[in-house]
């Protein structure tokens, strides 16, 4: 199941697709940054923690949500 949500509605553990990409990522952390949100994401395919990366988005950006990681 896939929903379209605003970046401000993303929670830790959500599996999302970032704008301009087809890759599913797991949200590990959400922080408030200057002018928007900062997500720490990893590959939803079970990649290693070393593959974490930061993504900055405004709260108005729309994302595709693919569900939640129920293992964590």
Look up the CATH number of the domain holding residue 47.
2.30.30.30
Total domains, the chain: 1
Query: What's this model's pTM, rounded to 2 decimal places?
Result: 0.81
Domain that holds residue 61: 3-68
**Contact (CB, 8 A) for 65 and 10:** yes
Query: Residue 6: what pLDDT?
Result: 87
CA dihedral 60, 69, 38, 61 (to 10 degrees): -20
pLDDT tens-place string over residues 2-54: 788 888 899 999 999 998 888 899 999 999 988 899 999 999 887 666 789 99
DSSP string, 34-71: TTEEEEEEEETTT--GGG-EEEEE-TT-EEEEEEE-TT
Contact in structure between 67 and 10 (CB atoms under 8 Å)? no
């Amino acid at each position: 199941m896939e929903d379209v949500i605003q970046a401000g509605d993303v929670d830790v553990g959500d599996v999302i697709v970032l704008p301009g990409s087809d890759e599913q990522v797991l949200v590990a952390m959400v922080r408030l940054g200057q002018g928007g949100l900062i997500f720490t994401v990893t590959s939803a395919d079970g990649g290693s923690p070393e593959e974490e990366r930061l993504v900055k988005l405004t709260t108005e950006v729309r994302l595709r949500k693919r569900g939640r990681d129920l293992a964590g």
